[in-house]
Structures are given as C-alpha cells and as structure tokens.
Structure 1
C-alpha cells in the first residue's frame, strides 16, 4: 500500500487540505505528500521546527510546556498542531505534528530511542478536534524518521473517521 498516495486520494476526494509541523521528521511528512502527483490541491504548508526557539517562535508552543513535558511529548506535539492553525495564512483543515527522537535520548530522560510523539488536529464547521499518541520505532536514524512520517500519514484518515465520537479540542 502506498500511504502517501492513499492520503492524497483521501484528502482530494473530500476537498480537504493538510499542513504539517515537523521536528524529528524534518519535513519528510510534507515531502512524502508532495511526491504524489496532484498533491498541490491538498498540501497547504509545512514547517520544520527543530529547536525549542523554532517551536515557540513560529508555532507558539509555550516554553512552560517544553519545561514541564519535554521536547518529545504529546503536549508539545499538540501545541505544534494548534500553532499551525493559529497562523493567519493557514487554510488547512488538518494539521499533523511530530516531535521525537531518532537516536539515543538526552541524558536524564527515560525515553526509549525512537520515541515519536504525534498530534492530528482537525478543523470542521462544528469545531476543532485533536488526537495524539506516542509510538516507538526501531531502526537507524533514517529508518525511524521514515517510519514516523509514514505512520503520521497513515493515521490521517483513521482519525478523521473518529471525529463524530470525540470531544471538541480545547
């Protein structure tokens, strides 16, 4: 199964547009979408915000969130996805965010190598909805980033199909 092609087909068939906010994947999620012919109609923008200052300065992630939860956390991924929608130029219906580790964890943390945190935020007429999760991927740096990007895309339609059963995003 070609996940990027499937996601572009899903988005295109519903007239939906996606934006990405990426740390560990370094733009790979947006790049995988852009590789698919016809993706221009469904890819709005993509941000690579690797550093804490990038996350805070561009996407309005709160420094306190980073201090309390760490850079590799669902809380940071959720704020990254929310920050995309907060940008005046964003016309996306879906924001996908990723932050994680592609190698060994920083000293003093108990994170497993390959830990990846994701958030998917959906904007509909009846409100905004958020999902987040953490996964651990095996492999070398390149493999972890590739698997994380494909996983992020694989959940776009899955969570879209969960929308009627979720609470409104904060």
Structure 2
C-alpha cells in the first residue's frame, strides 16, 4: 500500500507528463528537496529539466539573475525574490514551468527576524511567448526538516493549480 506522499507525487508526475511539462526548480530553503521528492517516482525524470539549490544572495544572482536591489529592498525571504528566482529558472533553462522557494526552515529566525517556518513561493508557467507568474507566502510548523518537506510538497501540489490557472488566463 502506498503512502499519501507517494500517491501525491505520482499524481504530480502524471500531471507533468500528461501536459508535456518540463520543470525547473530554484530552491533555497528546500535545498533540492522538491526535485529529490519528485525523483522518487519512476519515470519522473522525463518531466524534470533541472533543480538548482541556491542559498546565498550571490548564487541567486549568478544562476538566476535575482537582483541584489530586490534582495536589499525586500529581504531574502520575500515574494519578489521568489518571483525573480522562478523567472530565472524558467528563462535560463529548458523548462516550460518553474517553481521557486525561499524561506526560513530553522532552527533560528532569519536575519530580518522572519519567523521560522515562513516560506515564499513562486511559480512561472510559459505559454507560447508569454510567462504567467504566481506568488504566495505560507507558514509551516515543525522542525527544520519537517518545514523543508512540507514546503517541498506544497510547492509541488500547487503546480497543477497554477498551470491550469495560466491556461485559463492565456
């Protein structure tokens, strides 16, 4: 018998395959866990382009073109930073859907006193010559690894929702 997480991951992998989607991730607080979780599912590699683990402001800038000005103005744990991460992931890779996250998994609060468990997400969906984007901030309870896993699963669970929304809007 499969556990609920495996069933959820299989459903996401099937959705990506059924819709010919190639995913790129830009992960800060989950450090590659989104891709790792999805890769548990046999055959999911066909819908993965890449997973980038980008912790430092310098790596966010170098690999994803996140502006230092955005980081300085909004902080590392912010929807504007998550949005630039998702845009960098979709623009700089061979993907038509991307997700990103940046947050504080713990054990201590962020540099700007952002509470432990706060995670900002962004999703980017490429539709023809247009990219639609969505952002959210959520709070997760638990220790460091519980926050990371909950955030990774949440990001994946929202992919179909935001893909469908982008298809309806374009």
The normalised TM-score by structure 2 is 0.92
In the alignment, structure 1 residue 21 sits paired with structure 2 residue 34: no
Match of 1:33 in 2: 38
Equivalence map 1:17-166=2 (5 Å) = 17-87=22-92, 90-103=93-106, 104-107=108-111, 109-125=112-128, 127-166=130-169
Instruction: Determine if contact 2:110/2:116 at 8 Å carries over to the other structure.
Output: no
Higher helix share: 2
CA offsets 1:92-129 (integer angstroms, 9 cap, x no match): 1100101000112235x342210000000000115110
CA distance in 2, matches of 1:165, 1:110: 38
- Deviation at 1:146? 0.3
Root-mean-square deviation (CA, aligned residues, Å) is 1.4
In structure 2, runs of 5+ residues without a counterpart are none
State the SS of the aligned residue for 2:24.
strand
CA offsets 1:61-80 (integer angstroms, 9 cap, x no match): 00000000000001000000
The normalised TM-score by structure 1 is 0.92
- Deviation at 1:165? 4.9
State the SS of the aligned residue for 1:120.
strand
State the SS of the aligned residue for 1:162.
helix
State the SS of the aligned residue for 1:37.
coil
Which stretch shifts more, 120-129 or 151-160?
A: 120-129
In structure 1, runs of 5+ residues without a counterpart are none
